[in-house]
């Protein structure tokens, strides 16, 4: 973490004195219906555009955090496996924890469990940093609000800002240089019929990480120029769709938004194509279902997997076309 992030956090936190020996955090993964792609500030994870998501209540991260005086380095345990200090995941977590360390020689034990595959475009970093920030809050008892905590989570991973909440959340891109107005908040709307279907094409680690992918897009993709404005408009349209419970508007806007984000990657040089042949086959199946009158849409993150959007009355038809699809009811 850079000096900028340190300076911000030092001013933002009321103190750095642990109130407890132990902190717990639990947070869901979230699926962006209008995506985050592009940073206006790299170190603070400030986005070029707002985004809007739905959390998946049963998938996410559980983290237990403690300060242990006998440690000489942070100890990161991922899915019951202790990682070496030079493991990329452990290093990233340690760098983030540097922002909160009471003293340079205070070390944390972080015991974290993901119920989703790590690094496969299923947003494990979102739930991971959200859970870690909740555990930090329990440990330090700062009494920060959820939107305030989402600012801290954002500095670990942009999309983590949205994982502080169940249901729909909107991450406002903010305007300020220090990011103090770039936080997420929940949208107070339920949609009991809404279903998310996870179509897993490939759960191996992705070749190009999101941050590197975003940077390359911003630097080399001419078509990206129009993305921030489109994304801002898509957020508003989806927000309206949620208020009206207009599923067609929600689905069309979400699919168009995801395809547009992937389009910016495809038009990047060297190209970033997260799609696999099986991703394209699954998209074609979705379009065939729609042609046949079954209203189903998809969204995709920086990976090859599809997340289907449909309403419960179409679940049987969706499962017929996608027998291995994991259906989640967010509400």
Which among 159, 207, 151 is positioned nearest to 54, based on CA atoms?
159
Contact 304, 276 (CB under 8 A): yes
Taking the complex as a whole, the smallest distance from the CB of residue 102 to a copy of itself amounts, in Å, to 46
Question: Across the chain, where does the E strand assignment appear?
Answer: 22-34, 39-41, 46-47, 51-67, 75-78, 81-82, 108-114, 168-171, 184-186, 194-199, 297-299, 306-311, 326-328
Taking the complex as a whole, the smallest distance from the CB of residue 269 to a copy of itself amounts, in Å, to 5
Nearer to a copy of itself, 186 or 209 (CB): 209
Q: Which of residues 272-331 bind a copy of itself (CB under 8 A)?
A: 273, 275-281, 283-284
Non-local (6+) Cβ contacts of 279 within 8 A are 201, 300, 304, 305, 306
Taking the complex as a whole, the smallest distance from the CB of residue 260 to a copy of itself amounts, in Å, to 4
Nearer to a copy of itself, 177 or 226 (CB): 226
Alpha carbon distance, N-terminus to C-terminus of the chain: 36
Q: How many CB atoms lie within 10 A of CB 40?
A: 18
For 88, 120, 278, the CA distances from 208, given in Å and listed in that order, are 14, 11, 19
Q: Which of residues 228-267 bind a copy of itself (CB under 8 A)?
A: 229-230, 252, 255-256, 259-260, 262-264, 266-267
Indicate whether 269 belongs to the interface with a copy of itself (CB under 8 A). Answer: yes
Taking the complex as a whole, the smallest distance from the CB of residue 257 to a copy of itself amounts, in Å, to 9
Taking the complex as a whole, the smallest distance from the CB of residue 281 to a copy of itself amounts, in Å, to 5
# chain residues binding a copy of itself, by CB under 8 A: 31
Taking the complex as a whole, the smallest distance from the CB of residue 65 to a copy of itself amounts, in Å, to 41
Nearer to a copy of itself, 113 or 276 (CB): 276
Nearer to a copy of itself, 69 or 291 (CB): 291
Nearer to a copy of itself, 19 or 223 (CB): 223
Nearer to a copy of itself, 112 or 279 (CB): 279
Beta bridge partners of 34: 52
Distance between CA 165 and CA 150 in Å, rounded?
Answer: 9
Non-local (6+) Cβ contacts of 71 within 8 A are 107, 108, 109
Taking the complex as a whole, the smallest distance from the CB of residue 240 to a copy of itself amounts, in Å, to 17
**131 cis-preceded (ω within 30 degrees of 0):** no
Distance between CA 28 and CA 147 in Å, rounded?
Answer: 16
Site string for a copy of itself, 196-235 (x = CB under 8 A): -------------------------xxxxxxx-xx-----
Which among 47, 33, 31 is positioned nearest to 236, based on CA atoms?
33
H-only helix segments in 141-294: 146-156, 210-220, 227-244, 247-266, 277-291
Nearer to a copy of itself, 79 or 225 (CB): 225
Nearer to a copy of itself, 203 or 273 (CB): 273
Taking the complex as a whole, the smallest distance from the CB of residue 219 to a copy of itself amounts, in Å, to 13
Report the interface residues with a copy of itself, using CB under 8 A.
221-227, 229-230, 252, 255-256, 259-260, 262-264, 266-267, 269, 271, 273, 275-281, 283-284
């Amino acid at each position: 973490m850079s000096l900028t992030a340190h300076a911000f956090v030092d001013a933002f936190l009321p103190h750095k004195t642990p109130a407890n020996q132990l902190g717990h955090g639990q947070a869901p993964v979230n699926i962006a219906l209008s995506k985050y792609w592009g940073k206006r500030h790299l170190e603070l994870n400030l986005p070029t555009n707002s985004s809007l998501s739905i959390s998946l209540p049963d998938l996410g991260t559980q983290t237990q955090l403690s300060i242990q005086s006998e440690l000489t380095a942070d100890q990161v345990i991922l899915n019951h496996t202790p990682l070496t200090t030079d493991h990329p995941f452990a290093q990233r977590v340690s760098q983030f924890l540097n922002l909160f360390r009471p003293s340079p020689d205070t070390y944390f034990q972080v015991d974290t469990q993901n119920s989703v595959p790590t690094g496969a475009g299923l947003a494990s970093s979102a739930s991971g940093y959200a859970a870690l920030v909740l555990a930090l809050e329990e440990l330090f008892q700062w009494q920060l609000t959820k939107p305030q905590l989402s600012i801290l989570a954002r500095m670990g991973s942009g999309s983590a800002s949205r994982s502080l909440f169940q249901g729909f959340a909107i991450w406002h891109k903010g305007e300020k240089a220090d990011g103090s107005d770039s936080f997420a908040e929940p949208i107070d709307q339920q949609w009991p019929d809404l279903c998310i279907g996870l179509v897993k094409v490939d759960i191996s680690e992705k070749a190009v990480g999101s941050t590197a992918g975003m940077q390359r897009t911003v630097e080399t993709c001419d078509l990206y120029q129009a993305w921030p404005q489109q994304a801002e408009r898509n957020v508003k349209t989806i927000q309206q769709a949620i208020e009206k419970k207009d599923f067609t508007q929600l689905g069309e806007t979400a699919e168009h938004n995801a395809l547009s984000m992937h389009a910016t990657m495809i038009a990047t040089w060297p190209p970033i194509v997260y799609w696999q042949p099986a991703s394209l086959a699954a998209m074609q199946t979705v379009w065939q279902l729609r042609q046949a009158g079954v209203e189903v849409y998809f969204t995709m993150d920086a990976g090859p997997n599809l997340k289907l959007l449909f309403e419960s009355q179409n679940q049987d038809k969706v499962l017929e076309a996608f027998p291995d699809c994991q259906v989640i009811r967010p509400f």
